[in-house]
Structure 1
Amino acid sequence: MDYRQLGATGTRVSELCFGTWRFGRRTGGVLETDETAAHELLDAFAAGGGTFIDTANIYGEPNGTSEEYIGDWLETRERDRYVLASKVYFEFDEANPNGSGLSRTHIRDQIEGTLDRLGTDYLDLYYVHRWDEHTPIEETLSALDGLVEDGRVNYLGASTMAAWQLTKALWTSDVNDYARFDVTQPLFHAGYYEDVEPYLDVAADQDLAVCPYSPLAGGFLTGKYTRADPEDPKSVRAPDGSRGSFDERFERFYLSERGWKVLETVREVADELDATPAQVALRWLMDQEAFTCVPIVGARTVNQLEENLGATAVSMSEAQHDRITDARYREDGRRWGH
């Protein structure tokens, strides 16, 4: 696996980031990834050259379980070989009126818990998980700047906010001489690109790294789904147990005429390259030219993870990359609808 600069920072990371939102998560009362399976996945990621690991304080049940799994795994490893990212914003303690958001109080409280669970005295990257409408951005950025100043955090990131919010935060950091966001984490994949174009324009202009979550559209771009009705893009045949068979968000977030057109082209390119659709969809992201793009993969099994890691060995031509990009548009230049 190759390594690349994380935006304008001096830190290099693996071409793919491993997302751990399934660690300790329960769906319908069933534990998705227990600690043994989590460590097997982390072992496979590290064996493939992976160094960049993403989590959040609210991943797992109870909150913090994912961070604890990672911390236990790191006990027998060299901490400085890995780039750890976590997040803050969502409610961690429902009994605490200050147990959520981006206030100075919540940020300072949560960074201590995150570091303790991870078993480390610093975090490489700390994201704000969402924008907080109830806390002045100056307070949030001042608190985050303090974490950078005292060495508990190396870099700051922004996940899932509007382009104007990201721009406002960067401007506020600049005029107050606060540490600024160096990394962004939007929902971004080949079939969804246009919806976040203004956000990506800010990232490109400001030399921010982009670490997309759900880069395979919840599994849609792996090619395991088939269209059930040519007149209805929401009509899909989903394998039993797959996300599309039980997740109501799947239809709303990932099924569209645009998505099916892109998937068709992804499949064609995959056949040409003797690769899988998942590998091609990830490579399309990794080959973005306007900004450093490091997709976050969240495999359920070691086999799935190893397939995803295979994207690092795929070589796609510029023409093939453009075909996937162009599949989002009709012949008249209009974008296919969602």
Structure 2
Amino acid sequence: MQYRQLGNTGTRVSELCLGTWRFGKETNGVVETTRDEAHGLLDAAWEHGINFIDTANVYGTPNGRSEEFIGEWLTDHDREDFVIASKVYFPFDEDNPNGRGLSRKHVFDQVEGTLNRLDTEYLDIYYLHRWDEHTPIEETLRALHQLVEDGKVNYLGVSTMAAWQLTKAQLTAELEGLTTFDVTQPLHHAGYYEDVSDYLDVCADQDLAVCNYSPLAGGFLTGKYERADPDDPEAVVAPDGARGSFDEMFGDWYASERGWNVLDQVRTVADEVDATPAQVALRWLMDWDEFTCIPIIGARTPEQLTENVGATDITISEEQWDRIMDARYRSDGTLRGH
């Protein structure tokens, strides 16, 4: 495992980050990743050299269960070996009118709960999970700045939001003399049906690290799905047990004409370099040169994790990288610039 500088910070992280949103999460009454399974994945990740762990206060059922699983596992390890990130925004307590958003009150309350569940004195990264249109960004930034000053947070990050919101937050922090952001966490993968180029341009300009979630498009870019209808890009043939077989939103989120074009090229490159489509899709992200890109992988099993980690051992050429990028903009079988 190689380690990279996290954007403009002094911290080095593994080329891949372990995502834990499935830890303790119940779907249709079934826990997707139990405590024992979560600890097994954490063991496997650490054995592969992954030192970067991503979670959030609302991951798991009930909220906070993912953080609890990680905190329990960390008791048998040296906290200083790991870079741990969590998030704040979404409702934690539905009955509390102040139990959501990015108010000073909610941020301070939630960071204490997160630290307790993780059994740690500080977070390496604290993300704004979303933009809060009801709280002035200055209030949120001052609260976050205080957490950094108090040593409870090392670096600040933002997750999903518009490019203008990221720009406003960064500029406001600079003008007010407050701690700026160093890390972002957008939804970004090779086949995403929407362009996030404006957001990524801000990241490149500000030297922000990009720790993108859903790098394999919910499993779409692993190559295990096939097109069910040539006239309907959202119709997929999914193997039993795969996300697309039970998630009604899978087609809306991950399957598109762009996605199928990209998947075709990812499969071709995978054959050329003797790798799996998942490994090529991850390598494509890791090879962005405008900013540090650390994909967040959410493997279900140690075997899937091992396959994903294999992306760190393969090489794709600049020409192969460009072919995948060009496939994002293919129309009627032709290529156009990007």
Segment of structure 1 superposing worse, 105-114 or 222-231: 222-231
Partner SS for 1:316: coil
Question: Once the 2 structures are TM-superposed, how far is the Cα of residue 193 of structure 1 from its aligned partner?
Answer: 7.3
- Other-structure match for 2:36: 36
Q: Does 1:169 align with 2:188?
A: no
Answer whether contact 2:267 2:277 (CA < 8 A) is retained: yes
Kindly tell me: are residues 85 and 52 of structure 1, through their superposed partners in 2, closer, same or farther at Cα, counting changes over 3 Å? same
Q: Partners of 2:320 and 2:198 in 1: how far apart?
A: 24
Question: Once the 2 structures are TM-superposed, how far is the Cα of residue 334 of structure 1 from its aligned partner?
Answer: 7.9
Partner SS for 1:195: coil
- Other-structure match for 2:122: 122
Q: Deviations over 1:19-38 (max 9, x none)?
A: 00000001111100011000
- Other-structure match for 2:108: 108
Q: Which runs of 5+ in 1 are unaligned?
A: none
Q: TM-score when scaled to structure 2?
A: 0.98
Structure 2 matches for 1:1-338, cutoff 5 A? 1-192=1-192, 195-330=195-330, 331=334, 333=336
Q: Partners of 1:287 and 1:161 in 2: how far apart?
A: 23
Question: Once the 2 structures are TM-superposed, how far is the Cα of residue 194 of structure 1 from its aligned partner?
Answer: 5.3
In percent, how many aligned pairs have the same letter? 70
Segment of structure 1 superposing worse, 106-115 or 323-332: 323-332
Q: Partners of 1:334 and 1:225 in 2: how far apart?
A: 28
Answer whether contact 2:193 2:258 (CA < 8 A) is retained: no
Over aligned residue pairs, what C-alpha RMSD do you find? 1.1
Question: Once the 2 structures are TM-superposed, how far is the Cα of residue 234 of structure 1 from its aligned partner?
Answer: 1.4
Q: Partners of 1:333 and 1:270 in 2: how far apart?
A: 23
Q: Partners of 2:177 and 2:210 in 1: how far apart?
A: 23
Q: Partners of 1:194 and 1:57 in 2: how far apart?
A: 27
Q: Which runs of 5+ in 2 are unaligned?
A: none
User: Aligned letter for 2:246?
Assistant: F
Question: Once the 2 structures are TM-superposed, how far is the Cα of residue 245 of structure 1 from its aligned partner?
Answer: 1.1
Question: Once the 2 structures are TM-superposed, how far is the Cα of residue 333 of structure 1 from its aligned partner?
Answer: 2.3
Answer whether contact 2:84 2:124 (CA < 8 A) is retained: yes
Kindly tell me: are residues 333 and 81 of structure 1, through their superposed partners in 2, closer, same or farther at Cα, counting changes over 3 Å? same
Q: Partners of 2:63 and 2:222 in 1: how far apart?
A: 30
Q: Partners of 2:329 and 2:34 in 1: how far apart?
A: 42
Q: Deviations over 1:269-288 (max 9, x none)?
A: 00111100000000000000
Kindly tell me: are residues 169 and 182 of structure 1, through their superposed partners in 2, closer, same or farther at Cα, counting changes over 3 Å? same
Question: Once the 2 structures are TM-superposed, how far is the Cα of residue 249 of structure 1 from its aligned partner?
Answer: 2.1
Q: Partners of 1:94 and 1:100 in 2: how far apart?
A: 8
Question: Once the 2 structures are TM-superposed, how far is the Cα of residue 268 of structure 1 from its aligned partner?
Answer: 0.6
Q: TM-score when scaled to structure 1?
A: 0.98
Q: Partners of 1:297 and 1:93 in 2: how far apart?
A: 28
